[in-house]
A = this chain, B = another copy of it.
Amino acid sequence: MEINKIQHSKLDKVDPNNSAFGVNISDHMLICVFKDGKWGEPVIMPYGGMNYSPALMAIHYGQAIFEGMKAYKDSNDNVFLFRPEKNFERFNKSAERLAMPKITKEIFLDGLLSLIDLDRNWVPTKEGNSLYIRPTMFASEEMFSARISNEYTFAIMTSPANSYYDKPLKIKIEDYYTRAVDGGVGFTKCAGNYGASFYPTKLANEAGYDQVIWTDSKEHLYFEESGTMNVMVRIGDVLYTPPTSNTILSGITRDSLVTIAKHNKIEVKEERISVDDIFNAYKSGNLKEIFGCGTAVVINRYSHVAYRDFIMELPELDEKNSFAIFLKKQLVDLQTNKSEDPFGWRYKVEKKL
């Protein structure tokens, strides 16, 4: 791996502990180019422009995928990743569905470790803050034929991320627009999934909602995801979440929360959740919590969930009674080395560079 260090760090102008999500990109990025049927040598270089033209194929044909990960610092300035091999595996599943080459474990994981090691001063120390990590791969040939690209660029960039204030959200259950369909790309983290979701979300925002819960494409009756997160529902003392599928992203936060819940003797059912189930639980007083979960926000609780004109108001549970608050604390404590790691999920970034 070639490493070209910056001359002067931008850290004299950026405070990682006070940095809005995704805005300040760290000093270095990793770049690796796929050409003539094979990956070249990965290079760590100063983050910046790459001279792409507007004919970049990723812009025209959407062969573009990404992952979202985080690095955390403990009180001794040790830096940890969280289950990075899961992101690596999912990245390659996305790549396959988008007809893109797979990345090797060496380039992805070794590249990641070197990059985070080099920019470890960008990992925030303030509680709840972290370094957001964005691996991406995109078609980087420049021409106009609507076909599979022959060239790709794999890049990893990072950016300090403030703690996201978990204000309970008002949610609309979407009954017209569709995020994903059987035989489509819903299970991948491809660029097209996000752009397609912005307009329905904007309409929900204009109607007074913060976010949408996506439902199945056929009947719009079964919960799928919420915004760009997986969704969980607590009815009585049972936690429900739809099973991952070809329309539902296999969320790593989702999987981790399910595991932590079970480990703490909370009953979890990975089952389809219908709007009817939710209505019935609400009417009987058993609907306790609905929340979204994902890497960026960890957990977002919902205070109001609407289906057409019917608005369900959820109880405001305190930290003693909320599964969401309990699970979030368990997960973040594990990620930041404040608690034991019975699952072997923490991944220390050794200081080498």
Residues of A within 8 A of B (CB): 21-23, 25, 29, 31, 47-56, 58-64, 66, 96-99, 132, 134, 136, 138-139, 142-148, 153, 155, 157, 159, 176-178, 181-185, 190-196, 198-200, 202, 217-218, 228, 296
> CA of A192 to CA of B51 in the docked complex: distance in angstroms?
23
> CA of A178 to CA of B183 in the docked complex: distance in angstroms?
5
> CA of A177 to CA of B200 in the docked complex: distance in angstroms?
24
Complex contact B51–A198 (CB within 8 A): no
Copies in the complex: 2
Complex contact B58–A191 (CB within 8 A): yes
Complex contact B182–A217 (CB within 8 A): yes
Residues of B within 8 A of A53 (CB): 25, 29, 47-50
> CA of A134 to CA of B54 in the docked complex: distance in angstroms?
10
> CA of A29 to CA of B288 in the docked complex: distance in angstroms?
57
Task: Please list 16 pairs of residues, one from A and one from B, whose beta carbons are closer than 8 Å in the complex, sorted by A's number.
Answer: A21-B144, A21-B145, A29-B53, A48-B53, A50-B54, A55-B157, A56-B59, A60-B191, A61-B191, A61-B198, A62-B62, A144-B157, A144-B159, A177-B184, A178-B183, A184-B196
Residues of B within 8 A of A49 (CB): 51-53
> CA of A22 to CA of B147 in the docked complex: distance in angstroms?
11
Complex contact A59–B64 (CB within 8 A): yes
Nearest residue (CB) in B for A188 is B196
Complex contact A191–B194 (CB within 8 A): no
Complex contact A199–B31 (CB within 8 A): no
Residues of B within 8 A of A145 (CB): 21-23
Residues of B within 8 A of A143 (CB): 22-23, 25, 159
Complex contact B29–A198 (CB within 8 A): no
> CA of A64 to CA of B57 in the docked complex: distance in angstroms?
11
Complex contact B66–A64 (CB within 8 A): no
Once A55-B157, A60-B66, A184-B178 are accepted as A-B contacts, the answer to whether A144 and B99 lie under 8 Å apart by CB is no
> CA of A196 to CA of B190 in the docked complex: distance in angstroms?
9
> CA of A60 to CA of B66 in the docked complex: distance in angstroms?
7
> CA of A220 to CA of B196 in the docked complex: distance in angstroms?
22
Residues of B within 8 A of A181 (CB): 178, 181, 184, 217
Residues of B within 8 A of A25 (CB): 53, 55, 142-144
Residues of B within 8 A of A50 (CB): 51-54
> CA of A98 to CA of B138 in the docked complex: distance in angstroms?
20
> CA of A42 to CA of B68 in the docked complex: distance in angstroms?
36
Cβ contact of A202, chosen from B60, B136, B148, B218, cutoff 8 A: B148
Once A49-B52, A178-B183, A192-B193 are accepted as A-B contacts, the answer to whether A63 and B29 lie under 8 Å apart by CB is no
